[in-house]
Each structure stands twice: as C-alpha cells, then as structure tokens.
Structure 1
Amino acid sequence: MNKSILLGATGIAVAFGMLAFGYTAGNVQPARAVEAPQTVATPAPVDKGEVEKIVRDYLVANPEILDEMQAALDAKRTEQQRIAQIETIRANKDEIFNSKHDAVVGNPNGTITIVEFYDYNCGFCKRALDDMKALTDADPELRFVLKEFPILGPDSQKAHMVASAFQRLMPEKYEEFHQKLLGHEGRAGEESAMKLALSLGADEARLRAELENPEIVENFSRTYDLASKLAITGTPSYVVGNEVVFGALGRDVLSERIAAARD
C-alpha cells in the first residue's frame, strides 16, 4: 500500500474518531432539572482501540474506498500539474516557441505552432515522424518546432550534436536531414549522423569545428530545464498552445489539440 493510500486511510480514521466522539458525547444523559446548581456533564473519553476497530472493520468491509481515494488523489495531482504547466508555458513562451536554436518545418511564419521534444533514438519518435509530415502537409499555417532532447544515452547526445551543428551550417537542408536520420533504421550516433550530413553536402572540417560551439550544449541544457519544468520525461512530447501532450498519440489527437489551440 503506497503512502498516499495510507494517508487517506489516516483521514478516514480521523473522521471515524470524530464520529465516535460525537456519538459518545451525544449519548451522555443530560442532568435532570433540580433545584440544586446544575453541573456540566463531561463526555466519556473516546476509546482509541474501539475507534481503530471501527475503522478497520469499515475498510475490510469496503476496500474499494481505497481505490476511490487514490483516483481522487491522482485527479487532483493531474490538475495541479496542468496548472503548473500553463504557468510555465506562459513564463517561458519565447524559449519554447521561438528559440533561435530550434529548427522549424512547415510554415515558419504560420499562425499556429506545435513544439516537439524528440530523441533520434526514440522508437515512438520514429513512428510519429509521419504525423509531422501529414500535419504540415495538411495545414499551410502550421509551424512545427523541433526541440532536440537527447535523453537516450551517449549515442543520442552525439547524434544530436551533429544535427545541431548541421542545422547551424545548412538550415535549408535540415528538414531533409532530420527526416532521414529519424527515419533511419538502427541506432543513431555520431558516425551515422556525420555520414548523412556529408552526403547532403556538408563540409566535414566546418562541421567538426561547429561541433565545438558551446552554444550547442548550452541549448541542450535549456531544453532539459524546460522539460523538467513542464514535467516532460519522455519522447515524443509536444506543446500546443497552453497544453503539454505526452507520447505518440497519433495525427488525429494532435489535430484536435491544434484545433483547440486555435479557438
């Protein structure tokens, strides 16, 4: 039994204790009216063992109440997280939607923006690649911001380093690079990312020099910080309007979120 359920059970115990106290106090017989000065009746002390037995018997007879308590607690925490995310998005709007370090596909001047946190070695991100293509093809006003979020080990970090360097040197070809590297079978790393970059016309010497640019790592750090504030721990995750969407939920779900953000 986890801590939240135990706390809930404790709350029930307190409630029953109050009930028991009220019951005991309510059954004290009032003093008869006599000519002598009346005295205030003192309630009999509550029997702790009796209250605990009442609580135990009730929970044994109604164990489903623990599930109800946990569901209520989960709903409360989800709502608290949603409110915190809205506040974070509002406070970091430019960094989330308009960072100069992030690549944009679709219409760079579009009226609606969706931001994706992704990792090149994320299988779900690979599956969601077609969603990005379909959404940007279907909506000429959609800006699709790609926020590099390498969280799946050293290979991912190296692949994203090359991707970031390539994006800085050849932004006009970054969308093609992104789709090919993310759609590539097998694990992405420095070697595969570098090979792809060179095949698209990058100069190897310039690319390797750009890998040393401290702004690349600094941008990753900012992305990690944003993700932490938004409670993003996996990929893909999206920000649409004032909402965070977790997971590869498919084109239809993302289309609904985009439509809601437009309202």
Structure 2
Amino acid sequence: MKRILMIGAFLALCTPWGPGPAGAQEAAPGFTPRQREEIVGILREALRTDPSILRDAIGAMQEAQRAEQEGARRAALAASRDALFNDARDPIKGNPRGDVTIVEFFDARCTYCKALYPNMQALLQRDGNVRVVMKDLPILGPNSVLASRALLAAQRQGKYEPLYDALLKLRTEPTESVIQAEAQRAGLDWPRLRRDMEDPAIQARLEANIALAQRLQLEGTPALIIGDTLVPGAVELPELQRLVAEARRRG
C-alpha cells in the first residue's frame, strides 16, 4: 500500500500544470507549497532507498499515455468510418461485396508493405469474402508520390491492381522510367497516364489520405484497419486470418 501511495504521489507531482502569474509554475491542486515540499522530501528518501519506485511510476505514466492514445484512436476510427470504408473513389481489391472489409494504408516504396503484399494476396485467394480498400499513403519521398499518382491515374484506365502488383514486386526505385515500363507492360496508355498523374484531383486524394492517417495517429506504413481494430506493420497470414475471423464474428 505504501508503495502504491508513493507512485501516486510521484504521478501527481509530475502532472503538468499551467503557468501562473509572472510565469511561475502553479502548485498542484490540493497541495500547499509546504505540503509539496514535504512530499518531495519523502519521495527523495523513498527513491534513495528503493529506486524501483521510479521505474514503476514511469511505467504507470507510459501505460496511462498508451491508454489515452488508444482511446483517442478508437474515437477517431469511429468518427472516420465513412472516409475509411465508404469512399467510392477508393480502389477495391478482393470481393467488392465481401462481409469483412480491410482498409490498407500503404506506400509503394515501403519495404514492410512489400513484405505484407504476398500475405494479403494469399488471404484474398483463400477467403473470397474479403473486401480490401486501398489507401495510397506516399510518405517516403518524391518517388513514393510519383508511384501513388501513377496508381490513382491507372485506376482511371481500370488498371490499378495490375500496376499495384507490379510496383509492390519491384526491387528497384519506382522512378518515372521504371513506372513507364511497368505501366506499358500492364497494358496502360502511358501518355494518358502521365497526363492524369498531374491532375490536381489526384493530388487532392493523396492529401485527403494523409490527413486521414494523421487523424488516426498512424505512425507509418503498412497500417491495416480490420473491423474496428488498427493493425500496424506487416502481418503474417495466420494472424490476418485470425483478425478477419474475429471481425466476421462481430458482424
């Protein structure tokens, strides 16, 4: 009990309070300056005799921060459901009428997105009732932006998925010349594709995806949303199947 009280006192003293008049730091509510001084003295002595109190207190602070971030993310997911699942402009893979939807944020240059790619392909081959919403999220530099623009331009020719497959299998940089070769190999009209890549509407879609990712506090790619669960990073096929089955049970 004494240990719990010590950690609670440490957390209370570490809580940030706004600056008072003349820029001084306000005392924590409920503590007089004298009481605060006495508590600090007790804590110092406790930390000297048992340094693990500090470790436990920091762990408690980190856990509280994680819980707060998770709560904010869940609220953002709930508020963004239409933008995530029901934007008619987004490319769709798998079964458009599938009973489970996965939203995939990806960057065509991302090493981990490339690692996830065969697992997602295997999932769609084995489960014909999964719908995947593709969210291009170019965060790794100019060639990422170039690739995302090419993909969304290819969608206008009904060739998003063949070009996506080609770019995710690439082991070289998706420079313009590389994209041109892959696009022509996939049967795309390159002059039309190159013109469409410069359409401001495509840039606006990419900016909307970036803003959505920021609202959801995504920290990188790939990021999957399966039902109401955010799954960061590359995931192996068995885990994908488990998450889909869980979302299906929840309806």
Identify the residue that residue 243 of structure 1 maps to in structure 2.
229
8 Å CA contact 2:10, 2:43 repeated in 1:
no
Which of structures 1 and 2 has the bigger CA Rg?
Answer: 1
Shift of 1:7: 6.5
Identify the residue that residue 79 of structure 1 maps to in structure 2.
67
Partner secondary structure for residue 87 of structure 2: coil
Distance between the aligned counterparts of 2:35 and 2:114, measured in 1? 63
Q: Which amino acid aligns with 1:113?
A: T
Identify the residue that residue 109 of structure 2 maps to in structure 1.
121
Q: Any residues of structure 2 matched to 1:92-171 within 5 Å, and which?
A: 92-169=80-157, 171=158
Partner secondary structure for residue 156 of structure 2: helix
Distance between the aligned counterparts of 1:78 and 1:133, measured in 2? 32
Q: Which amino acid aligns with 2:196?
A: E
Identify the residue that residue 8 of structure 1 maps to in structure 2.
11
8 Å CA contact 1:163, 1:193 repeated in 2:
no
Distance between the aligned counterparts of 2:196 and 2:79, measured in 1? 31
8 Å CA contact 2:119, 2:235 repeated in 1:
no
Shift of 1:51: 5.0
- Taking structure 1 as reference, are residues 255 and 82 closer, same or farther at Cα in structure 2, changes over 3 Å only? farther
- Residue by residue over 1:165-194, the C-alpha shift from the partner in whole angstroms, topping out at 9 and shown as x without a partner, is 01122x2x3222211211111222322222
TM-score by length of 1: 0.78
- Taking structure 1 as reference, are residues 200 and 122 closer, same or farther at Cα in structure 2, changes over 3 Å only? same
TM-score by length of 2: 0.82
Shift of 1:46: 6.0
Q: Which amino acid aligns with 1:102?
A: D
Select which of 216, 230, 239 maps to 2:216.
Answer: 230
Distance between the aligned counterparts of 1:57 and 1:245, measured in 2? 43
Range 141-150 or range 88-97, more displaced: 88-97
Structure 1: give runs of 5+ residues left out of the alignment: 1-5, 22-44
Structure 2: give runs of 5+ residues left out of the alignment: 1-8, 16-26
Distance between the aligned counterparts of 1:122 and 1:249, measured in 2? 14
Q: Does 1:191 align with 2:177?
A: yes
Select which of 170, 188, 191 maps to 1:202.
Answer: 188
Shift of 1:208: 1.8
- Taking structure 1 as reference, are residues 47 and 253 closer, same or farther at Cα in structure 2, changes over 3 Å only? closer
- Taking structure 1 as reference, are residues 136 and 47 closer, same or farther at Cα in structure 2, changes over 3 Å only? closer
Partner secondary structure for residue 122 of structure 2: helix
Count of paired positions: 229
Root-mean-square deviation (Å): 2.7
Shift of 1:137: 1.0
